[in-house]
Structure formats: C-alpha cells, structure tokens
Amino acid sequence: NPDLYKKTSLGYLPKDWSVIKLGDLLAPVYSNFRSGPFGSALLKSELVEEGIPFLGIDNIKTEKFDNNYKRFVSEKKFNELRKYSVRERDVIITIMGTVGRAAVVPQNTGKALSSKHLWTMTFDESYIIPELVCWQLNYAPWVKSWFRKETQGGIMDAIQSKTLKSLLLPVPGKEEQKNIFERYSMITKKIHSEEYNLQKLLDQKKGLMHDLLTGKIFVLSKLETREITHV
C-alpha cells in the first residue's frame, strides 16, 4: 500500500520510520565518538605482553568482535588513555586497512583500548539498537554509496569523522527494531549452525579421502560386492 510509505533522501520508507544522522544517535556520554591514541600518546615500546587489550583492525571482523588479542597496555597506561577506552555494546568500524568493517563489542568484554585505526561509537539505545547500526555499516547500499560519494577520487583509504557522523540512517520505531533484531539474529544463528555442519562434513570428507587414498580403508569392487551378497 503506497499510503504506508513516504519519500525520503534514502528512498521510500515506512511512514513511521525516521531518517537520522549517525551523529545524532550517539549517547549523551563523554567521548561517545573516538579514535586514537595518536603519535607519542602511545609508543610501540609501551606495549606489554600481558595487560589490557589494545584493539586493532584485526579484532574487528564483519559482524564479529574477535577477542584473540595480540597487543596490550599496562593498567597505568590505560588510565592515562581512558578516553579511548571501549564500552560494552559500542559499535566499532575499521577506518584503515580493510575499511568499513563493523562489529558490536559484546557484553562482558571487560577493559579494552581502541586505536587510531578504528572509530569507536557509543549509541543511545533509547533511540537505536547498536546492532542495527552495525548491520547497516556492513551491508547497506546507502552506506557504501555515501562513503564513495564523500571520498575524493573514489578510493577510500580512511573514513573521516564528518563523513561518518553525517551518514543518514533509517531508524524504525523501537518495537520494530526489536522485531528486526530478533529475526535477523535467528537467521544469523541458523547460518552459523549450517556453516558448522558444513565444516564437519568437509572435515569428514577430507579424512575419508586420506584413508581411501592411503589404503587404510579397503574398498571392494562391484564384482566382489555382488559375490559377497550372493554367498
């Protein structure tokens, strides 16, 4: 029914949805949009073998926060750089290397420090569920086209703060956000389950081929099989 939709800068959307700049969805908290530390604020020589994780682009996969930490800072250094710390439920997007990958920081992550290769954002959850921002950053065509439009020469080697903050996002009502979140999460879990089952089958196939091709499993010919059957 066309009466249920309205024309927006992002195309036709349901009438009760809003189009809001990403920057206007940030939580009213200190350092809600951050990247860094930069320059001499944290030297490579100040990294330690154990301590509080110092995140990099390798910790942010598409839709997945990878807690296989490789870099750490001391408690003292973390306290000096606390304004770059990561909060649970933050959305982090890579701005260097593989640009534009986003993930949500899981609950119970504990202390961690962001880096200059990432934008870390704290959203007001009374307005939007962080996962809905994350999914759009990863997959939405309007996000990709905005990044291309804002990048000179068409090559995106970094995402500027003004580009990200001025990004327009469709925002459904809270009840519909919950429904979208539940439906998407259910499908994602099913995909992960099927991927796990596929990997198990591939591993079984690999093991079987090894056993067959090394003679560890004796395979009867069709003739031998018929002879055994008729005995």
- Shared domain for 108 and 204, answered yes or no, is no
Query: Which pLDDT score, from 0 to 100, does residue 212 have?
Result: 86
Beta bridge partners, 34, equal: 120
- The DSSP string of 92-146 is EEE-SSSTT-EEEPPTT----B--TTEEEE-B-TTT--HHHHHHHHHH-HHHHHH
Query: Which pLDDT score, from 0 to 100, does residue 74 have?
Result: 96
- Shared domain for 97 and 155, answered yes or no, is yes
- Shared domain for 19 and 129, answered yes or no, is yes
Q: What is the CATH number of the domain that holds 59?
A: 3.90.220.20
In a domain, 116, yes or no: yes
- Shared domain for 56 and 31, answered yes or no, is yes
- Shared domain for 196 and 142, answered yes or no, is no
Query: Which pLDDT score, from 0 to 100, does residue 193 have?
Result: 94
* Domain span at 201: 186-229
Query: Which pLDDT score, from 0 to 100, does residue 96 have?
Result: 77
Q: How far, in whole angstroms, is CA 104 from its chain's centroid?
A: 6
Q: Which residues contact 35 (CB under 8 A, 6 or more apart)?
A: 84, 95, 114, 115, 116, 117, 118, 119, 120, 161
Query: Which pLDDT score, from 0 to 100, does residue 181 have?
Result: 95
Query: Which pLDDT score, from 0 to 100, does residue 142 have?
Result: 94
- Shared domain for 113 and 8, answered yes or no, is yes
In a domain, 150, yes or no: yes
Query: Which pLDDT score, from 0 to 100, does residue 29 have?
Result: 96
In a domain, 139, yes or no: yes
Given a cut of 50, the residues of the chain with pLDDT beneath it are: none
